[in-house]
Amino acid sequence: MQQRSVTISTHNGSKVAREHNIRSPQVVSQEKHIDPNGKFEIWIDEKPREAYQRIFGEALEEYNARQTRKDRKKENYYDEICKDTKKHAVYEMIVGVYGKNPDGTSVATNDEKRHILKAFVDNWHIRNPHLELIGAYFHADEPNSDIHIHLDYIPIATDCTRGMKTQNSLSRALQQQGFKAHGSQTEQIQWEARENQYLGRLCGSYGLYVRHPGTREHLDTESYKAQKQLEAINQQILERKEE
């Protein structure tokens, strides 16, 4: 039996386009690469401003209550982060499984891809307790692109000693998930490698072999650490399912 080989991608960034992701008619009508009759699904969707109130509202009230000077109080934490040149209110990861046969057909079926990507989302909160997922959008309606998902999330750092006790900080959030910068290996690089490996394991459960172009076959130190973290997370998922 011929081996089914795919490539995977977990691309992380800071450009978020919610109206595009939810397929708002006003936006989609201007985007010719989207098939209006194609399939898309909204798995999770919460407006960023509302999410900020839910996540940081209590911490904001507590912070303002401690201030004796009116000019030190914060009016709106979401607006403050949007104006911050060093932070982003919401981050986005685009996740996909890719691969074509010589005849141009897809290596994995659409159902297989959907199940893999759905499992990636369903277990996100177990892997990433400090990255609050506020959007998960399944897109299979772009003929020139393979099936993929957009995941919008807010980093949450807790127990902060300066300012609000709960804040938006990607580096701190990842540190609180166990990642520690080491040389050129930042917390984010290590985290993305871990997420990529988890997606690869999901593909493996469907009999798909994941190719990693341009990478070494053996694991380096950081990949080994990520693999161990992945095994621990898989065990947590199994325990949750048993519960």
| Sheet bearing 4-13, strands edge to edge | 39-45, 131-140, 148-155, 91-98, 4-13, 208-210
User: What token pair was written down for 149?
Assistant: 């998902």
> Which phi and psi (to 5°) does residue 12 adopt?
-105, 140
Closest C-alpha to 179, from 195, 163, 159: 195
User: What token pair was written down for 39?
Assistant: 């399939």
Task: Count CA within 13 A, CB hemisphere, residue 218.
Answer: 2
**Whole-structure pTM value:** 0.85
Per-residue pLDDT of the chain (243 residues; tens, 9 = 90+): 567 889 998 989 888 999 999 999 988 888 888 998 899 999 999 999 999 999 999 999 999 999 989 888 999 999 999 999 999 999 999 999 998 888 878 889 999 999 999 999 999 999 999 999 999 999 999 988 889 999 999 999 999 999 999 999 999 999 999 999 988 899 999 999 999 999 999 999 999 999 875 444 333 444 444 445 545 554 555 555 455
